[in-house]
Amino acid sequence: MTKAELIAAVAEKTELSKKDSEKAVVCMIETIMGVVSAGEKVTFTGFGSFEAVHRAERNGINPSTGEKIVIPAKKIPKFKAGKYFKELCE
């Protein structure tokens, strides 16, 4: 499903205009990204949670040259599905 398809589905289910649905979807996505990038966790009971996790520094290999490199530590976003969501996917 693309973002446009999601907006259309939200508009259909909520009986809002596509323009209003787009505002809601975009605002929700931007809010989740902002909160997670600030280091906080966003949880939707039954659906899942979004959070930033620390990935430690590690060794890697440059595929073009075969040279060993050090990949620096960084934070990455992570989604963990909730119980209800997992059950739906079974």
Please state the rounded mean pLDDT for residues 4-17: 95
pTM of the model: 0.80
Surface-to-core class of residue 30, CB atoms within 10 Å of its CB (0-12 exposed, 13-18 middle, 19+ buried):
exposed
Helix (H, G, I), strand (E, B) or coil at 54: strand
In which band, very low, low, confident or very high, does the pLDDT at 13 lie, cut at 50, 70 and 90?
Answer: very high
Domain 3-89 = CATH 3.30.365.10:
no
CA distance 10 to 90: 24
Dihedral of the alpha carbons of 10, 20, 28, 86, in degrees to the nearest 10: 0
Model pLDDT for residues 18-64, shown as the tens digit of each residue:
999 999 999 999 999 999 999 999 999 999 999 999 999 999 999 99
